[in-house]
Amino acid sequence: MSELKKKLNLYGLTMIAVGGCIGAGIFTAPGDVARGIDSPAFILLIWLVGGLASLLGALTFAELGSLFPKSGGVYVYLKEAYGDLAGFLYGWVTLFIINTGALAFLAELFGIYMQEFPLFAETPKEYLALFAIISLTVLNIFGVNVLQVFANLFSGLKILAIALIVILGLYYINSNDIETFEFTFSNAPENFWSAIFVGLVGVFFSFGGWHHTTYLSGETINASKNVPRAMVIAVLLVTTLYILINWVYMLILPLPEIVATHTIAGDAFGIIYPTWGAKAISVLVAVSVFGAIGIYTVSAPRIYFAMANDGIFFKKLAQLHPKYKTPVFAMLTQAVVACFLIIIFKDLFGLMAFVTFMDILFMTLAGFTIFIFRMKLKDVKREVKVPFYPVIPLLYFLLLGTFVVLTFIKVKGPVWWGITILILGIPVYFQFKSRQGKK
């Protein structure tokens, strides 16, 4: 079996988790989150719920990561708990929906923001998006050390960008004697639960990525301890930053303007610094998105690598680069699918819902595996255990399960596309199993 090199440390892994979360979502999704909710308090509550769900997930996955410290992450948990079909279908939708859809979304936004600069103003955003995915995939083929340096640099810049927006925004608010909004839960939105869970589409999309550390367990030094630590640290940091920046957004911009825009960071900074604010934030958002694309191009291909090694995916995807020991064909295959989605998808919110529904569906199933492993592997030593078991994993399962059901009801179009692709994976799986049996 092919072996991956162990090079990632705790800091590098944490920055990969942070970079996977902080992509374009926090700079574009607040308008979608606020739609239908005429209350700053409830909007902040939704972001807090997203952070809480991610923390519950990180604590749950911490035990799973220590139990299975090898590459593949969620794929491995699903396969070991439910069987090969569940693991295969997760890898299948990750390749054709979750990771490639997120890559397409991020790359499209990268193209949009790059068009703000005169040099690229006339360049179609699709060309810029394709360039980002292809160039970063090729770069990451040169080894996971490149990813670690890349993640450290760009994740640090993204944290700095959000910190600057918060600090300069608060300075502007204080200097101009802007009154803070009334923090009250008295004006609840109509169709309360529906509004909350539709808002969570953008929130969960913005938080998605903390579990990418589990895909890289096979390349992590002391994985059973560093993978859980990285997830928890990343979720706490990202949640804090998201609450702060949304608070600043709502202090600077009225809610109707927030709802009407997908470039909230640029709009807010344009008010603070009219001459250069919007341009400056475009640079920061472009950098943020570029960094997230770089992380996504390298993390999920480890799933396809693990599946191919298990004999339930294309054998070529298990082949490593002879020098850099990276799953080169898995990475290139993902890049091709993501580029195809860029060409055919035009509705960015639909693409976001398409990705988020299927991602949260499988994260819900993966979270439930902890109950199965507590029974199946009760005698296996765990270096990390989820605290307050079974309360924390149960809350995680119920919260995400409710989101899946309500999203299925409210956002039908993109959801049905995802379900169709999921179902198409079933005969493909049995075809691979049939070939495996003949061998």
Q: What is the 3-state secondary structure (H, E, C) of 87-121?
A: HHHHHHHHHHHHHHHHHHHHHHHHHHHHCCCHHHC
Cα 216 from Cα 4, distance rounded (Å): 9
Q: Which of 10, 359, 385 is nearest to 203 (CA)?
A: 359
Q: Assess if residue 13 is contained within a domain.
A: no
Q: Which of 390, 359, 356 is nearest to 375 (CA)?
A: 390
pLDDT tens track for 208-232: 878 777 767 667 788 777 888 888 8
Contacts 24+ apart (CB under 8 A), 123-130: 126/342, 126/343, 129/104, 129/342, 130/339, 130/342
- Quote the pLDDT of residue 72: 63
Cα 396 from Cα 59, distance rounded (Å): 10
pLDDT bin (cut points 50, 70, 90) of residue 68 is: confident
Average pLDDT over residues 92-111: 88
Q: Assess if residue 2 is contained within a domain.
A: no
Higher pLDDT, 121 or 71: 121
Whole-angstrom CA distances from 68 to 121, 213, 386 are: 48, 13, 14
- Quote the pLDDT of residue 1: 46
- Quote the pLDDT of residue 149: 66
Q: Which of 225, 271, 279 is nearest to 249 (CA)?
A: 271
Q: What type of residue sits at position 341?
A: L
Evaluate whether 186 touches 29 at the Cβ level (below 8 Å): no
Cα 263 from Cα 168, distance rounded (Å): 18
Cα 395 from Cα 403, distance rounded (Å): 12
Q: Which of 234, 86, 246 is nearest to 169 (CA)?
A: 246
Q: What type of residue sits at position 57?
A: G
Q: Assess if residue 86 is contained within a domain.
A: yes
Cα 401 from Cα 338, distance rounded (Å): 27
Report which listed range, 106-110, 258-262, 335-339, is most confident: 335-339
Q: What type of residue sits at position 42?
A: F
CB-based contacts of 364, cutoff 8 Å, min separation 6: 397, 400, 401, 404
Please compute, for residue 283, the number of CA atoms within 13 A of its CA located in the half-sphere on the CB side: 9
Enumerate the β-bridge partners of residue 220: 8
pLDDT tens track for 291-306: 778 877 877 787 788 7
Helix (H/G/I), strand (E/B), else coil: 301: helix
Domains held by the chain: number: 1
- Quote the pLDDT of residue 134: 93
Range of 386's domain? 22-438
Phi (first) and psi of residue 416, to 5 degrees: -70, -35
- Quote the pLDDT of residue 374: 94
- Quote the pLDDT of residue 432: 82
Helix (H/G/I), strand (E/B), else coil: 417: helix
In the structure encoding, which two tokens stand for residue 137, read together? 């995939």
Please compute, for residue 356, the number of CA atoms within 13 A of its CA located in the half-sphere on the CB side: 32
Average pLDDT over residues 316-345: 86
**DSSP string computed for 214-256:** HHTGGGBTTHHHHHHHHHHHHHHHHHHHHHHHHHHHHHHS-HH
Q: Assess if residue 157 is contained within a domain.
A: yes
Rounded to 10°, the helix 192-207/391-410 angle is: 110
pTM: 0.82
For the chain, give the mean pLDDT: 83
- Quote the pLDDT of residue 400: 93
Q: Assess if residue 300 is contained within a domain.
A: yes
- Quote the pLDDT of residue 326: 81
Evaluate whether 283 touches 276 at the Cβ level (below 8 Å): no
Average pLDDT over residues 99-109: 88
- Which CATH number covers residue 306? 1.20.1740.10
- Quote the pLDDT of residue 327: 84
pLDDT above 90 as % of the chain: 21
**DSSP string computed for 25-71:** HHHHTHHHHHTT---HHHHHHHHHHHHHHHHHHHHHHHHHHHHS-ST
Q: Over 80: is that where the pLDDT of 355 sits?
A: yes
Q: Assess if residue 430 is contained within a domain.
A: yes
Q: Assess if residue 5 is contained within a domain.
A: no
- Using only the alpha carbons of the chain, give its radius of gyration: 21
Average pLDDT over residues 168-179: 76
Q: Assess if residue 149 is contained within a domain.
A: yes
Cα 360 from Cα 404, distance rounded (Å): 7
> Which position has the token pair 């300075």?
171
- Quote the pLDDT of residue 183: 61
